[in-house]
Chains A and B, each alone.
Chain A
Amino acid sequence: MKRPTGEIKPLFLIFLIFPLLLCGASALWWPLLEPLELALAVTLHLAIAVVYIQTYPAIATEIPSFRILRLAESAGPGGASMEELITQMGQGELVGSRQSLMTEDGLVIESAEGMSLTTAGKLLAVAFLTYRKLLGLGEGGG
């Protein structure tokens, strides 16, 4: 079976959109629960679904901080220098993999003029900028 492209899109479809459609259909055609009970069930589902959605990327792709920790540990008691860690991390997979995922998820469009954000990409960028401003924090370091 072909692996779905992107990361955010398939997760949202499987764990949020599809179950919500199923609940909507159930409410309309097979009303097993009354609307409020269904809303409570959906809330519980969302609370558990977001746990998986947030955990999956850690399993599917590398987390640089985890990689640094394991590289430092495998270096033994003498530890690892920053230069050694930078060499072992490798630029291509760190940034390149993220860029291609953003394109596959429909957040970024690449054209001859360069890269631009889709509406979803803009919304995400604004949401994170606003959130950090609300907390009184500066831009994240990445």
Chain B
Amino acid sequence: MQIKWMLLGLAWASLPLLLVVHGLLVRVLKGKSGQNVVLLAILAGNLPFLALSVWCLWPMRPQLLLPLLAYLLVVYQGFGYAYFHFYNMSETARRIRLLILIYQGRLKRSEEAASAYSPEEMVRNRLGRLTAMGQLTQNEVGRYVAKGGILLFAAKMIAAYRQLLGLDDWCKS
């Protein structure tokens, strides 16, 4: 019974742990790409989480300990992935930006959305972030060139998956 409580507590402790590790890294790595920092926080958070889990479940026979650690690590990676997207939404999501603009009274009518959140601003923000993340680079005449990083790979994978599902390719529309 006690081990099950411990396991449940540890699984849910991964969320505040992610927040704490991320909060620390944001302050230490000021000026770095937000996406790179959150990714680093999630990966680095594995170590204190694993250490905390082993410490809480110790002493336990390896035959029992290993499945429990596997359970905890699966839960941590799932929450970590969701946390990455949560942060990313807070930084890049158009709908969150629009929600906040409406909440703050800076956007009252749907027709104003275009001026409150212009395509120029939207593209400029993303070009800045993608360049900071090393996914894009500017050539000598200031044109943007894809560097073929992990995000381009992800974009291609999603496009291929959409094709598999019979959905249109929004890049060609």
Tell me if A's interface is mostly helix, strand, loop or mixed: helix
Contacts of B7 in A (CB 8 A): 40
Question: Are the CB atoms of B75 and A44 closer together than 8 Å?
Answer: yes
With A40-B4, A40-B7, A54-B81 as contacts: A71 and B171 at CB distance below 8 Å: yes
With A40-B4, A115-B108, A128-B90 as contacts: A66 and B142 at CB distance below 8 Å: no
Question: Are the CB atoms of B151 and A142 closer together than 8 Å?
Answer: no
Contacts of A37 in B (CB 8 A): 4
Question: Are the CB atoms of A43 and B12 closer together than 8 Å?
Answer: yes
Question: Are the CB atoms of B155 and A40 closer together than 8 Å?
Answer: no
Contacts of B171 in A (CB 8 A): 67, 70-71, 74
A95 in contact (CB, < 8 A): yes
Question: Are the CB atoms of A39 and B8 closer together than 8 Å?
Answer: yes
Contact check: which of A85, A135, A137 meets B144 at CB < 8 Å?
A85
Interface residues as binary, A37-55 with B (CB distance below 8 Å gives 1, 0 otherwise): 1011001101110110110
Question: Are the CB atoms of B155 and A66 closer together than 8 Å?
Answer: yes
For B94, give the chain A residue with the smallest CB separation.
A98
Contact check: which of A90, A98, A139 meets B119 at CB < 8 Å?
A90
Q: How far is the CA of A126 from the CA of B110 in the complex (A)?
A: 21
Q: How far is the CA of A10 from the CA of B165 in the complex (A)?
A: 19
Question: Are the CB atoms of A50 and B82 closer together than 8 Å?
Answer: yes
Interface residues on A, range: 35 or more
Contacts of A124 in B (CB 8 A): 96, 99
Q: What is the interface size of chain B, counting residues whose CB is below 8 A from a CB of the partner?
A: 81
Contact check: which of B79, B108, B167 meets A47 at CB < 8 Å?
B79
Q: How far is the CA of A122 from the CA of B170 in the complex (A)?
A: 31
A13 in contact (CB, < 8 A): no
The interface centre, meaning the residue of B5, B26, B119, B121 with most chain A CB atoms within 10 A of its CB, is B119
With A70-B152, A72-B145 as contacts: A114 and B8 at CB distance below 8 Å: no
Question: Are the CB atoms of A125 and B123 closer together than 8 Å?
Answer: no
For B35, give the chain A residue with the smallest CB separation.
A65
A140 to chain B, nearest CB (A): 4
Q: How far is the CA of A81 from the CA of B143 in the complex (A)?
A: 5
Q: How far is the CA of A138 from the CA of B61 in the complex (A)?
A: 47
List residues 60-99 of chain B with CB under 8 A from any CB of chain A: 71, 74-79, 81-82, 85-86, 89-99
> Please, could you name 7 A-B residue pairs with CB atoms under 8 Å apart, sorted by A?
A40-B71, A48-B78, A58-B158, A70-B155, A78-B145, A95-B114, A137-B34
Chain A: residues with CB nearer than 8 A to chain B?
36-37, 39-40, 43-44, 46-48, 50-51, 53-54, 58-59, 61-75, 77-82, 85-86, 89-91, 93-96, 98-99, 101-102, 107-108, 110, 114-117, 121-122, 124-126, 128-129, 131-132, 134-137, 139-142
Leading 5 A-B pairs by shortest Cβ distance = A142-B97, A47-B78, A79-B143, A66-B155, A79-B145
